Amino acid sequence: MRSEKEKMLAEGLYNPGDAELVSIRKNARKLVREINQTHEDEYEKRATLVKQLFGGHKKAVYVEPPFHCDYGENITVGDNFYANFDCIMLDVASITIGDNVMFGPRATLCTATHPIDAAVRNSDVELAKAIHIGNNVWFGANVTVNPGVSIGDNVVVGSGAVVTKNIPSNVVAAGNPCKILRDITSEERAYWQRQHQEYLEECK
């Protein structure tokens, strides 16, 4: 027989009151509290705590407090990850984030969901669907990603978006519900590379 944790991670119905899951959540709350109580200059301490909380990480990880999550161990982030104030990750199922990803303030990633049928929902079972985010993704403020969504590489998601469906790579998307606005063009990339080069020249 599978454990409730195994059922949860398999994206099936599970009981959140299971003792093992309660224990993992309590440990996560402790680490989250310590992260959120770090002082403004305790960058290394905060990064160490975040890496203890997350299930997987690479080198550079920066989380601006306050931060909140359910389990922590179901979150995997790539290198050069940045989350601004008030980031929430309900990591009941896995949340996988690539390299060079930046979240604006109040980004919310919700893998958790509930049965549509009220009688089943009221029986205290829940379920979740994994979220996947690619490399080089930028969220504006107040972006919400719903359960089961995948976002490709090099995507910009505009402020206030509610992402209910998958988003392919190399696009700008926004809105509620979130929709693709346009592709990111080679001309646009060239423009920003010129701007960056001018900035570097001025800094010499």
Told to judge if 114 belongs to the known catalytic residues of this protein, a careful annotator would answer: yes
Q: What is the pLDDT of residue 204?
A: 84
What is the Cα–Cα distance from 16 to 25, expressed in whole angstroms? 10
Residue that the structure tokens 């979740």 belong to: 128
Is the separation of the CB atoms in 144 and 126 below 8 Å?
Answer: no
What is the Cα–Cα distance from 174 to 160, expressed in whole angstroms? 7
Catalytic residue, chosen from 39, 114, 132, 196, is 114
Q: Using one digit for the tens of pLDDT, what is the confidence trace for 4-53? A: 999 999 999 999 999 999 999 999 999 999 999 999 999 999 999 999 99
Q: Using one digit for the tens of pLDDT, what is the confidence trace for 96-152? A: 999 999 999 999 999 999 999 999 999 999 999 999 999 999 999 999 999 999 999
Predicted structure pTM score:
0.95
| Cis previous bond, 66, omega within 30 | yes
Query: What order of strands is seen across the sheet that includes strand 102-103?
Result: 61-63, 81-83, 102-103, 138-139, 156-157, 171-174, 179-183
CATH architecture of structural domain 4-203: 3 Solenoid (2.160)
Q: Using one digit for the tens of pLDDT, what is the confidence trace for 52-89? A: 999 999 989 999 999 999 999 999 999 999 999 999 99
Domains of the chain by residue range = 4-203
